[in-house]
Amino acid sequence: MKIKSIECLKLVRTFPAPSTPPRHPVAMVGGKPGRTRNNPHPIHRYPDILTGAFVPNPGEAFFTRTMFVRVTAEDGSWGIGSSHWGEYTKAVIEQHIAPLLIGRDCMAIEHLNDLMWRSFQRLGHTGLVSMAQAPVDIALWDLKGKLLGVPVYTLLGGPSRVELDTYVTTSDIDWAMELGFTRFKIGNFIQLTDGTAGINRLEDYVGQTREKVGPDADLMVNVVMGYNVEFAIRVAERLRPYNLAWLEEPLMPWDHEGHAQLKRAVPTVPLATGETHRGRHAFAELINRRAVDIVQPDISWTGGLSETLKIYALAEAAGLQTLVHVGAGRPEGQHFSLAMPECTLAEYNLRSPVGIPLEEVLRVPGMALPVNGKIRVSDAPGLGTDYHPDDFVPFD
């Protein structure tokens, strides 16, 4: 079955407004719904760059607009994938990937990925290029599952578990606990320039959260690249009494030696990173150095399901876990996490305003949602999403 077309699309389907009112007003950041605590990115060291989930940092407006890619076979069957920064990646897909893949066998996913990977060497197979490849690859897996009448997790080897255990990323622990979550990841709100006073504030926040969730709950802190090695060591040492399940992405992704130094300095605090790493070679360096305990590739940024399978194999051979970024909140992440034995947890990023049930803010039709911290992944063909052709228009 040959590929007939590859299209970049925008979702225009409308969803009903929640019927349940929130219990209190949603905080507004930059004129849009925000979060009470925001993870500063490296650029937020500079005071003229505003922080916040929806404030337009350079390129951030493009991140918040999801771009979909539809791969259509010659019989009219189609698969859907998605990623971010579509304004940047659209040209790569339309002018590079589509001419390379159209007319080829849509079932030969490994061959098609190797063609893309080899053709990208002059451009560099990281960054925006890997984010262009990812939605095409995801759509190919979705299409293959639909053509064969099986869910993607079956294509990946079959389920390793009956349901997914999840952890929740949130700034509202009370709401997450009410929804039945028992594992929690909270944000970091300091930079290394905040010094000792910042560490004191962070320790207070982590300590209050630990007291709220209890001694037996998994608790993680997500830094988002805001530290250097020296500051990360100080933070990790201060947070040791709170028994963190891991400290996430404390350093910038290129600093493999820094990750290894941090791991040696604080061996009792597990380290996780990977959402900002792109492609198998970046992960191979981390894994070969034993610089982290958990790798966290983002399937829609690091090249797709095919590339993430290669990353998983490297980590598994080294005895490391792979917990994909936002794995419980995207269809491809759910299927991957269900199939892979070492994916023992899946991340769910809680965006529902307090009091509004998750199903009332669902924006991925057909995707399963967590109930008491567990997810029964859809067994419908492909990724199980319930999109229709007229849900989309060309991406502009």
Which residues are known catalytic residues? 325
- DSSP one-letter string for 208-237: HHHHHH-TTSEEEEE--S---HHHHHHHHH
Query: Alpha-carbon distance 58 to 78, whole Å?
Result: 34
Query: Alpha-carbon distance 102 to 352, whole Å?
Result: 40
Query: Alpha-carbon distance 377 to 396, whole Å?
Result: 32
Query: Alpha-carbon distance 32 to 296, whole Å?
Result: 28
- Here the contacts of 216-219 (C-beta below 8 Å, separation 24 or greater) are 217/182, 217/183, 217/184, 218/167, 218/182, 218/183, 218/184, 218/245, 219/183, 219/184, 219/185, 219/186, 219/243, 219/244, 219/245
Identify which of 329, 373, 322, 312 has the alpha carbon closest to the alpha carbon of residue 344.
Answer: 322
